[in-house]
Amino acid sequence: MSSDTYEDEELEELLRRKAIQEQRRLEEEKKRKAEIEAQKEALLRVILTPEARQRLTNIKLVKPEFAESLENQLIALAQAGRIKVPITDDELKQILAQISEQNRREFRIQIKERGWK
C-alpha cells in the first residue's frame, strides 16, 4: 500500500469524523432550539388568552421578526411582574396600537434656500 493511498484513507476518515461531529452539533442545536421554543410557548399560554395567542400567531405569519420580538418583550414584562396576566385580545390590540404609534414617525423635508453670492 502506497503512502498516497494511506493518506487518502486517513483524510477520508478525518472528513467522515468531522461530518459526524457537525451532524451531532446541528442536531443538538436543533434540539436546544426546540426546547426553548416549547418553553416560550408554555409561557405564552399563561401570559396570553387563547384569542390573544391566535392574534400573535397571525402576526407571526406576516411579520415573524416583529412577532418574535413582541413575544420576548411580553415574556420579559410578565416575568418582571410589570404587566397583569393574562393579556386579553383587546389588551394586545392596545399594545400593538401603542407600538405602531411609536414606530410611526413624521418625516418632514425642509428646504432652506441659500443665497448665492
Q: What is the pLDDT of residue 85?
A: 92
Q: What does the pLDDT read at residue 115?
A: 66
Within-domain flag for 80: yes
Beta bridge partners of 48: 87
Decide if 79 is inside a domain.
Answer: yes
Q: Is residue 106 part of a domain?
A: no
Instruction: Count the domains in the chain.
Output: 1
In a domain, 116, yes or no: no
Mark out the alpha helices in 1-117 (DSSP H runs). Answer: 3-47, 50-62, 64-79, 89-103
Rg of the chain (C-alpha set): 26
Q: What is the mean pLDDT of each run of 10 residues along the chain (117 residues)?
A: 79 96 97 96 96 97 96 94 94 92 73 69
- CATH number for the domain harbouring residue 92: 1.10.8.140
**Residue 82 belongs to what domain range?**
3-100
- Is the distance from CB of 78 to CB of 44 less than 8 angstroms? no
Q: So what's the pLDDT on residue 79? A: 93
Supply the pLDDT for residue 100. Answer: 86
Query: Would you say residue 24 lies in a domain?
Result: yes
Quote the pLDDT of residue 12: 94
- Note the pLDDT tens digit of each residue in 67-90: 999 999 999 999 999 999 999 999
In a domain, residue 20? The reply is yes
**How far, in Å, CA of 56 to CA of 88, rounded?**
11
Count, residues in the chain: 117
Residue whose C-alpha cell reads 434656500 in the numeric block: 113
pLDDT of res. 94: 95
Q: Say if 111 falls within a structural domain.
A: no
Q: Is 110 within a domain?
A: no
